[in-house]
């Protein structure tokens, strides 16, 4: 049994995609890496370090180390450490400075300052763990070094890290910062200009950042060329990859998309992981571009539910994006139901499946529930299973027994008749429900779309309904992994189309319900489910929060964490403090 519509996942490969990067010092090496993984590289240097002339502050910084005024020094970059020594060596005794550094506490933010210090015979007292951000520096200090009333010297790199400075000062430290170099454009800016023009013209598929300041210089040059708006729009339609958290934070600060982040934050890992994941992300982003009219105003992010405007008003969206809120947002997964007289009146006239297929009634029921309860978000009124009908299953909701599949999968060969969802025509009532619910609610109330997760939908397909032990599902999963993977591939493809269509229709958040995942052990989940869930998350339009909710087994929580936009849902079996 084969499914040739899915590309091979055996080897990460760009498969000829056009890959742009802004690396300067290791330009040629980076281009070779892209080619090695099957990409067509365009690597243009975007910046260079310039020592600060007549840097009296650096000399004063060195004297304060020698005299013992500074009791701890944090070196953020290797090139910064080297520039510091070369800047001050004409003014202070080099060996005396090195001896003084060896006598006090020193912290290296990552491997590059460690290597630079070792070149001159110094061993840092501490090294911040990966991913080497300012958060790890502060965590290391909290665990090992009391800094109250201590004078800390901070070697900066081009721009001030205000979060690190504020964190040190909040702990009672006196911070003395020194800049030893600044960023500028490369001497030859023509390659960078041509790269920007290529991106704006839609001639690139992937853009990779290996440094935070590359993003700053990219926008500076685009502004100089008069095409910043075109560049931002173009970046909504290609895959943007970041080497690590510091670079991602800068991209987000500049309101640029971040579609994936390398882990660990190494150049080789960035290229390999991007080559593996970019196809699904690119498909999701181009799906958005295809269904949204090109003549419409605003960027894709603004069209997708006006997230930026809603975020300032919604405590629920703030929580999804890990931002502080004045209140704890509340919503209910079953907000509309039999407790409502209005719902019971509707159900007297139509069956449950007929209700699910009537967008006007679905929107009316949900809006009534939101107004009655005063909640902070609205999940659309629908069900997990209507998606199965266009995939080839005969679905019925029977009184007392719930959903029944009359033609379940009973043998591996039955998977051949399972159709991949290629169009939302048969499910247009779902997107219409999203649209009508969105229009009927205040902007401050986000709309949540949803789908069943691959395992739960597969369980219904195989068991024919609910089950106590999921014997048929587990048997296929364990005894015929090839057939199982083909079924999962079809579900991942279908669910991603289903959720992306809801997002484009106006859902600002989507949720994946894995109602039956609790029957699996953590090992079974990691082996048979997690790889498919990771592909599914990568296939959903970037930057839209995805709530990953699996019930029944608290041991699965660690498996539910996805990318940076994933929200983990927990049930009553997990206390909030543990969650």
Which of 256, 286, 316 represents a domain boundary (last residue)?
286
- In a shared domain, residues 78 and 201: no
Catalytic residue among 460, 514, 535, 565: 460
In a 3-state reduction of DSSP, which class is residue 306?
A: coil
Two tokens at 528?
Answer: 């048979």
pLDDT at 394 over 60: yes
Q: Model confidence at 285, in pLDDT bands (50, 70, 90)?
A: confident
Number of domains in the chain: 3
Instruction: Provide the pLDDT for residue 303.
Output: 47
Q: Model confidence at 563, in pLDDT bands (50, 70, 90)?
A: confident
Catalytic residue among 48, 94, 347, 526: 347
Catalytic residue among 53, 326, 338, 468: 338
Instruction: Provide the pLDDT for residue 336.
Output: 77
- H or E stretch at 440: helix 428-440
- In a shared domain, residues 420 and 511: yes
- In a shared domain, residues 425 and 545: yes
- In a shared domain, residues 243 and 316: no
Q: If you average pLDDT over residues 526-551, what whole number do you get?
A: 94
18 is catalytic: no
Instruction: Provide the pLDDT for residue 297.
Output: 37
Instruction: Provide the pLDDT for residue 340.
Output: 85
**What's 22's domain CATH number?**
3.40.50.10090
- In a shared domain, residues 64 and 136: yes
Q: If you average pLDDT over residues 224-232, what whole number do you get?
A: 96
Instruction: Provide the pLDDT for residue 15.
Output: 96
Q: Model confidence at 312, in pLDDT bands (50, 70, 90)?
A: low
Q: Model confidence at 3, in pLDDT bands (50, 70, 90)?
A: very low
Domain assignment present for residue 119? The answer is yes
pLDDT tens digits along 315-361: 999 999 888 888 999 999 888 777 888 888 988 999 999 999 999 99
Instruction: Provide the pLDDT for residue 307.
Output: 52
Which of 149, 168, 184 represents a domain boundary (last residue)?
184
- In a shared domain, residues 345 and 201: no
Domain assignment present for residue 26? The answer is yes
Catalytic residue among 334, 344, 439, 561: 334
Question: Residue 91's domain spans which residues?
Answer: 50-184
Catalytic residue among 3, 321, 383, 480: 383
Paired with 379 in beta bridges are 448
Angle at alpha carbon of residue 86, lines to 81 and 92, rounded to 5°? 105
Domain assignment present for residue 292? The answer is no
Domain assignment present for residue 296? The answer is no
334 is catalytic: yes
Instruction: Provide the pLDDT for residue 576.
Output: 81
- In a shared domain, residues 110 and 137: yes
- In a shared domain, residues 366 and 510: yes
Spatial neighbors of 48 by CB under 8 A, at least 6 apart, are: 24, 183, 184, 185, 186, 187
Strands across the sheet containing 509-514: 378-379, 447-452, 509-514, 546-550, 566-569
- In a shared domain, residues 234 and 177: no
Percentage of residues in the chain having pLDDT higher than 90: 76
- In a shared domain, residues 319 and 465: yes
Instruction: Provide the pLDDT for residue 85.
Output: 96
- In a shared domain, residues 147 and 196: no
pLDDT at 552 over 80: yes
Instruction: Provide the pLDDT for residue 518.
Output: 93
Contacts 24+ apart (CB under 8 A), 306-312: 306/443, 307/508, 307/543, 307/544, 309/443, 310/443, 310/444, 310/446, 310/508
Domain assignment present for residue 575? The answer is no
Domain assignment present for residue 297? The answer is no
558 CB neighbour count, 10 Å cutoff: 10
Question: Distance between CA 52 and CA 317 in Å, rounded?
Answer: 43
- In a shared domain, residues 408 and 439: yes
Which residue, 323, 315, 438, 307, is CA-closest to 374?
315
pLDDT at 81 over 70: yes
Which residue, 460, 556, 446, is CA-closest to 510?
446
Mean residue pLDDT of the chain comes to 91
338 is catalytic: yes
**What's 370's domain CATH number?**
3.20.20.210
What is the pTM for the complete model shown? 0.75
Q: If you average pLDDT over residues 398-423, what whole number do you get?
A: 92
344 is catalytic: no
Question: Distance between CA 355 and CA 347 in Å, rounded?
Answer: 8
Strands across the sheet containing 40-43: 40-43, 18-21, 206-209, 239-242, 260-261
pLDDT tens digits along 141-198: 999 999 999 999 999 876 788 899 999 999 999 999 999 988 899 999 999 999 999 9
Domain assignment present for residue 330? The answer is yes
32 is catalytic: no
Domain assignment present for residue 3? The answer is no
């Amino acid at each position: 049994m084969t499914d040739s519509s899915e590309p091979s996942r055996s080897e990460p490969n760009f498969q000829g995609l056009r890959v742009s990067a802004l690396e300067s010092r290791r330009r040629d090496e980076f281009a070779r890496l892209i080619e090695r993984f099957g990409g067509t590289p365009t690597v243009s240097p975007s910046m260079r370090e310039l020592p600060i002339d007549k840097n009296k502050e650096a000399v004063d910084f060195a004297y304060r180390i020698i005299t013992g005024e500074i009791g701890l020094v944090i070196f953020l970059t290797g090139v910064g450490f080297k520039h510091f020594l070369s800047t001050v060596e004409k003014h202070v005794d080099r060996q005396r400075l090195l001896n003084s550094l060896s006598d006090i506490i020193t912290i290296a933010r990552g491997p590059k300052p460690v290597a630079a210090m070792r070149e001159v015979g110094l061993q840092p007292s501490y090294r911040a763990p990966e991913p080497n951000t300012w958060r790890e520096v502060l965590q290391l200090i909290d665990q090992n070094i009391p800094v109250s009333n201590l004078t800390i010297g901070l070697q900066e790199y081009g721009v001030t890290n205000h979060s690190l400075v504020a964190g040190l000062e909040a702990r009672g430290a006196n911070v003395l910062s020194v800049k030893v170099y600044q960023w500028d454009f490369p001497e030859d800016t023509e390659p960078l200009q041509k790269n920007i023009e290529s991106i704006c013209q839609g001639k690139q598929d992937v853009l990779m950042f290996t440094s935070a300041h590359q993003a700053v210089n990219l926008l500076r040059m685009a502004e100089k060329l008069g095409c910043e708006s075109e560049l931002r729009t173009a970046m909504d339609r290609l895959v943007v990859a970041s080497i690590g958290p510091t670079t991602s934070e800068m991209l987000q600060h500049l309101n640029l998309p971040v579609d994936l982040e390398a882990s660990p934050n190494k150049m080789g890992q960035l290229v390999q992981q991007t080559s593996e994941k970019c196809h699904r992300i690119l498909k999701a982003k181009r799906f958005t571009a295809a269904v949204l009219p090109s003549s419409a105003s605003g960027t894709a992010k603004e069209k997708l539910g006006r997230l930026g405007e809603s975020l300032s008003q919604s405590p629920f969206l703030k929580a999804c994006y890990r931002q502080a809120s004045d209140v704890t947002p509340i919503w209910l997964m079953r907000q509309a139901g039999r407790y409502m007289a209005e719902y019971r009146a509707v159900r007297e006239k139509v069956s449950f499946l007929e209700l699910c297929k009537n967008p006007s009634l679905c929107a009316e029921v949900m809006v009534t529930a939101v107004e009655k309860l005063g909640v902070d978000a609205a999940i659309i009124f629908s069900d997990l299973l209507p998606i199965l009908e266009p995939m080839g299953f005969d679905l019925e909701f029977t009184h007392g027994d719930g959903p029944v599949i009359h033609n379940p999968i009973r043998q591996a060969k039955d998977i051949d008749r399972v159709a991949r969802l290629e169009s939302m025509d048969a499910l247009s009532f779902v997107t219409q429900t999203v649209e009508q619910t969105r229009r009927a609610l205040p902007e401050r109330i986000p709309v949540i779309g949803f789908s069943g997760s691959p395992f739960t939908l597969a369980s219904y397909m195989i068991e024919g309904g609910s089950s106590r032990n999921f014997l048929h599902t587990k048997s296929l999963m364990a005894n015929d992994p090839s057939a199982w993977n083909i079924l999962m591939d079809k579900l991942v493809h279908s669910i991603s189309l289903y959720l992306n269509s809801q997002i484009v229709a106006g859902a600002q958040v989507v949720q994946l319900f894995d109602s039956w995942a609790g029957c699996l052990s953590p090992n079974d989940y990691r082996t048979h489910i997690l790889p498919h869930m990771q592909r599914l998350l990568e296939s959903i339009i970037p930057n839209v929060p995805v709530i990953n909710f699996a019930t029944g087994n608290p041991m699965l929580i660690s498996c539910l964490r996805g990318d940076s936009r994933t929200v983990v849902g927990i049930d009553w079996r997990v206390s909030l403090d543990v969650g």
